[in-house]
C-alpha cells in the first residue's frame, strides 16, 4: 500500500516521476520495498477514477462561488463595515483586511441585504446623509437598533472595492411593487429623474447597473409565510412593475423552495403566466448539524455531510421540475443560500454577534462537498451563494468581534481558494464508484490543456490512494495543494490564524494516470497540463 507523508513532503507539489514518487515515500512506507506487482495492487482504500477529458458537462460559472451578506450579527456591522471614523484600519469605512482578503479570492457576486432581513428592509432608510437616516429595530436578528449607516450606496461601493457583481434582494413580505421599482430606478436610471438625481446627490452620478434582483426571500417562511400559489400571485405583480431602467433589464429571481420542496415549486410555477416567467428560481439548502462547531462526534459529522448527496439530488430534481414548465430552460436554477448550520453557542453569539459559528476542518469538508457537486451539476446551475461571507454561520472571514482589529481567513475561505482554478472552465464527467458520495468526492474541469481536479476525502478513519485515468490523454506536468487537519474539530483561531491553510502536496504522473494520496480529512486540488 502506498502512502505519503503528511505535511511537508521532500518534493512538494511539483511534478515527480513515478520513481521519484516511490522514493520519496520509501522511508515511511513499506510499500516501497514491495515488488512492483504488489506495489500497484489496489489497496483497500484505493479509488480508481476515470476522467472523461473530452466529455463536458457545462461551464463552471464563477457565480457558483457567489456569497451572501446580511444585516445579521457582525456580518455587516463590525464585519465588513467598520465606519469611516473607526480605529480599525479601513478603506472608506470598509474593513481593510476584509477587502484585501476578498479581493484576493475574487468574489463573483454578492447578495444583500438578506435573508430574512430583506423582507423587513425599506431601502429609503439607507440613503442620504447618515445622521438623518432613521433608526429601526432589526426584528429578525435580536431586536438591536439598526442605524442604517450601511445602505445601498455603501453596498455598491463595497462591491466595487472587491470587484463583485451586486445582487439586491427586494422586500416582498412587507414591501410593495412600487418600492422595489423605485429602488431599481434609484440604482439604474442614468440621470434626470428625481430618484437618479438623488443618487447623484448622494455621491454616485454614474448608475449602479444592478442586474440581479431577488423578489423576496424565503417567502414560505420569514418572508411572509405564504403558500407557493400566494407568492406566485404576488410575484406576478412585482414582475409587472419591474421594467428596464438605463437599458438594464432586471434579472428577476423568484423565491424557490426550502430544500427540495416540490409542492412549493409546483404551486408557484403552475400559477405563472408564460409572459412573466422569472429569470431565476432560488432554492435554499443548509446542512444542519446540531452539535457545537468544535465538538462534533464522528457520527455527527457523517450525518451532517450526508446532506450533500441530498442537495445534489435536489438540484437534479428541481431542475427537472422547472424543465417540465419551461422546456426551453429559460428559468435558471440558483442555490441562493447554502452552507453549514451548527449548534450556536449563546456566549459566543453574545460576544461576536448573532449566528456566529466557528469554522473547522469539518466545515471545510462540507463546503468542499458542496462546491464539488456544483461542478458536477454545472449545466443546471446559474449561481450559488454561500451563507454568509463574514462572521455568520460558516463564513470566509472571521473578526474577533465587531470591535476587534483581527480578521482571519477561515478553513472555508481556503476551500474556496482551492476551487478558484475551476472558475470559467468546463466541468468534465468523472466516473467513480459513487459520484455523489459524502465520503469521497471528485470533480474535474478543463480549459484547453489545463486540467483541474478536486478530491475530497471526508473520512476520519482512512487515507485514500487515488489512481485517476485520463483515458487517452497524458499530463506532462502537475502540482497540487492540500487543505488538511488530523482533527475535524480544529480550525483557525486568532492565536493561530493560519493553522489550517493550503500546503503543496505531492502528485505523480504515470502515462495516462494521475496518482495522488489523500490523507483522511483532506481536500486536494491538482492542476495538470495535458500534453
- Does the protein bind ligand AHR through residue 120 (CB under 6 A)? no
Distances (CA, A) of 44 to 40, 48, 416: 12, 11, 30
322-361 residues in contact with ligand AHR (CB under 6 A) are 337
CA torsion, points 184, 186, 191, 197, in degrees to nearest 10?
170
Q: Which is nearer to ligand AHR, 70 or 146 (CB)?
A: 70
CB closer to ligand AHR, 385 vs 443: 385
> Which residue, 194, 210, 485, is CA-closest to 363?
485
Is residue 228 close enough to count as binding ligand AHR by CB under 6 A? no
Per CB under 6 A, 467 contacts ligand AHR: no
Q: Which one is catalytic: 337, 349, 467, 473?
A: 337
Q: Which is nearer to ligand AHR, 390 or 518 (CB)?
A: 390
Q: Is the dihedral of CA 89, 95, 96, 101 positive or negative?
A: positive
- Beta partners for residue 95, in sequence order: 90
Closest to ligand AHR by CB, 326 vs 348, is: 348
If one asks whether residue 371 binds ligand AHR (CB under 6 A), the answer comes out as no
HSE-up (13 A, CA, CB side) for residue 382: 17
Residue 171 binds ligand AHR, judged by CB under 6 A: no
312 binds ligand AHR (CB under 6 A): no
The size of the interface with ligand AHR (CB under 6 A), counted in residues, is 10
**From 146, 154, 179, 218, active-site residue:** 218
Pairing, β 513-518 against β 381-387: unpaired
C-alpha to C-alpha distance for 517 and 455, rounded to whole angstroms: 10
229/272 Cα distance (integer angstroms): 9
Nearer to ligand AHR (CB atom), residue 185 or residue 218: 218
The 8-class DSSP code of residue 142 comes to: T
Catalytic residue flag (residue 218): yes
- At residue 230, what are phi and psi to the nearest 5 degrees? -60, -45
Smallest gap from residue 196 Cβ to ligand AHR (A): 30
The CA–CA distances, whole Å, from 273 to 173, 328, 331, 462 equal 21, 15, 13, 53
Q: Binding to ligand AHR by residue 180, rule CB under 6 A?
A: no
Binding status of residue 76 toward ligand AHR by CB under 6 A = no
**Identity of the residue, 335 or 387, whose beta carbon is nearer to ligand AHR in the bound complex:** 387
Residue 416 beta carbon to ligand AHR: minimum distance, rounded to whole angstroms = 17
146 lines the binding site for ligand AHR (CB under 6 A): no
Please select the residue that binds ligand AHR; options are 171, 217, 437, 488, rule is CB under 6 A: 217
- 340, 387, 458, 490: which one binds ligand AHR (CB under 6 A): 387
- CB 459 within 8 Å of CB 439: yes
Residue numbers 100-119 binding ligand AHR by CB under 6 A: 114-116
- Contact window for ligand AHR (CB under 6 A) among 44-52, 76-84, 204-212, 387-395: 387-395
**Rounded (10°) CA dihedral 466, 471, 475, 480:** -30
Q: Which is nearer to ligand AHR, 241 or 286 (CB)?
A: 286
3-class secondary structure per residue, 216-245 = CCCCCCCCCCCCHHHHHHHHHHHHHCCCCE
Determine whether 337 is an active site residue: yes
Binding mask 25-64 for ligand AHR (x = CB under 6 A): ----------------------------------------
Q: How far from 161 is each of 62, 164, 207, 402, 503, CA to CA, in Å?
A: 18, 8, 16, 20, 28
- Alpha-carbon span 146 to 222, nearest angstrom: 18
| Smallest gap from residue 162 Cβ to ligand AHR (A) | 20
If the CB atoms of residues 181 and 393 are measured against ligand AHR, the closer one turns out to be 393
User: For residue 12, which of 503, 455, 467, 484 has the smallest C-alpha distance?
Assistant: 503
CB of 222 to ligand AHR, least distance (A): 6
Considering the complex, what minimum distance in angstroms separates the CB of residue 343 from ligand AHR?
15
For the bound state, the minimum distance from the C-beta of residue 70 to ligand AHR, rounded and expressed in Å, comes to: 5
Angle at CA 140, nearest 5°, toward 198 and 349?
115
* Spatial distance between the Cα atoms of 55 and 51, rounded to a whole number of angstroms: 9
Shortest reach from residue 444's CB to ligand AHR, in Å: 31
DSSP string, 476-497: EEEEEEEEE-S-TT----SSST
Q: Is 154 in the site for ligand AHR (CB under 6 A)?
A: no
Query: Which residue's C-alpha cell is 450525518?
Result: 303
**Nearest-approach distance from CB 349 to ligand AHR, in angstroms:** 13
By CB under 6 A, residue 70 contacts ligand AHR? yes
Closest distance to ligand AHR from the beta carbon of 286 (Å): 7
Residue among 24, 148, 388, 443 that touches ligand AHR (CB under 6 A): 388
- Nearest to ligand AHR of 278, 502 (CB atom): 278
Active site residues: 218, 337
Residues that bind ligand AHR (CB under 6 A): 70, 114-116, 217-218, 337, 387-388, 393
Amino acid at each position: 500500500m502506498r502512502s505519503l507523508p503528511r505535511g511537508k513532503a521532500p518534493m512538494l507539489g511539483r511534478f515527480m516521476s513515478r520513481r521519484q514518487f516511490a522514493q520519496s515515500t520509501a522511508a515511511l512506507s513499506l510499500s516501497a520495498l514491495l515488488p512492483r506487482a504488489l506495489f500497484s495492487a489496489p489497496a483497500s482504500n484505493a479509488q480508481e477514477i476515470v476522467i472523461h477529458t473530452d466529455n463536458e458537462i457545462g461551464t463552471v460559472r464563477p457565480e457558483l462561488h457567489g456569497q451572501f451578506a446580511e444585516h445579521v450579527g457582525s456580518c455587516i456591522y463590525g464585519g465588513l463595515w467598520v465606519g469611516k471614523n473607526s480605529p480599525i484600519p479601513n478603506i472608506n469605512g470598509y474593513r481593510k483586511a476584509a477587502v484585501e482578503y476578498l479581493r484576493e479570492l475574487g468574489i463573483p457576486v454578492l447578495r444583500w441585504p438578506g435573508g430574512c432581513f430583506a423582507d423587513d428592509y425599506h431601502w429609503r432608510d439607507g440613503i442620504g446623509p447618515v445622521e438623518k437616516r432613521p433608526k429601526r429595530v432589526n426584528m429578525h436578528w435580536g431586536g438591536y437598533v439598526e442605524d442604517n449607516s450601511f445602505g445601498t450606496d455603501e453596498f455598491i461601493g463595497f462591491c466595487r472595492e472587491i470587484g463583485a457583481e451586486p445582487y439586491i434582494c427586494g422586500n416582498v413580505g412587507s414591501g410593495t411593487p412600487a418600492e422595489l421599482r423605485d429602488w431599481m430606478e434609484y440604482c439604474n436610471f442614468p440621470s434626470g429623474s428625481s430618484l437618479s438625481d438623488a443618487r447623484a446627490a448622494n455621491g454616485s452620478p454614474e448608475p449602479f447597473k444592478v442586474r440581479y434582483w431577488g423578489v423576496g426571500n424565503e417567502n414560505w417562511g420569514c418572508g411572509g409565510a405564504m403558500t407557493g400559489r400566494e407568492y406566485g400571485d404576488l410575484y406576478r405583480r412585482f414582475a409587472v412593475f419591474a421594467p428596464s431602467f438605463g437599458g438594464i433589464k432586471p434579472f428577476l429571481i423568484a423565491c424557490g423552495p426550502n430544500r427540495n420542496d416540490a409542492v412549493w415549486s409546483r404551486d408557484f410555477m403552475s400559477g405563472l403566466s408564460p409572459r412573466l416567467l422569472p429569470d431565476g428560481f432560488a432554492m435554499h439548502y443548509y446542512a444542519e448539524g446540531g452539535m457545537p462547531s468544535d465538538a462534533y462526534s464522528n457520527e455527527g459529522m457523517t450525518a451532517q455531510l450526508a446532506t450533500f448527496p441530498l442537495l445534489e439530488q435536489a438540484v437534479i430534481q428541481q431542475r427537472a421540475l422547472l424543465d417540465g414548465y419551461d422546456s426551453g430552460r429559460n428559468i435558471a436554477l440558483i442555490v441562493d443560500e447554502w452552507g453549514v448550520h451548527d449548534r450556536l453557542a449563546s456566549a459566543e453569539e453574545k460576544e461576536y454577534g448573532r449566528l456566529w459559528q466557528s469554522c473547522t476542518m469539518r466545515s471545510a469538508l462540507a463546503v468542499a462537498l458542496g462546491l464539488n457537486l456544483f461542478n458536477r451539476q454545472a449545466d443546471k446551475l446559474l449561481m450559488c451563494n454561500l451563507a454568509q461571507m463574514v462572521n455568520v454561520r460558516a463564513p470566509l472571514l472571521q473578526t474577533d468581534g465587531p470591535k476587534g482589529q483581527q480578521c482571519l481567513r477561515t478553513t472555508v475561505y481556503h476551500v474556496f481558494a482551492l476551487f478558484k482554478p475551476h472558475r470559467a472552465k468546463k466541468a468534465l464527467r468523472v466516473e467513480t464508484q459513487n459520484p455523489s458520495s459524502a465520503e469521497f468526492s471528485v470533480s474535474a474541469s478543463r480549459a484547453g490543456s489545463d486540467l483541474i481536479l478536486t478530491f475530497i476525502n471526508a473520512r476520519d478513519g482512512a487515507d485514500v490512494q487515488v489512481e485517476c485515468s485520463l483515458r487517452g490523454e497524458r499530463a506532462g506536468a502537475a502540482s497540487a495543494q492540500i487543505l488538511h487537519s488530523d482533527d475535524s474539530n480544529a480550525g483557525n483561531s486568532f492565536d493561530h490564524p493560519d493553522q489550517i491553510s493550503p500546503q503543496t502536496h505531492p502528485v505523480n504522473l504515470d502515462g495516462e494516470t494521475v496518482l495522488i494520496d489523500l490523507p483522511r480529512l483532506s481536500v486536494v486540488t491538482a492542476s495538470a497540463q495535458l500534453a
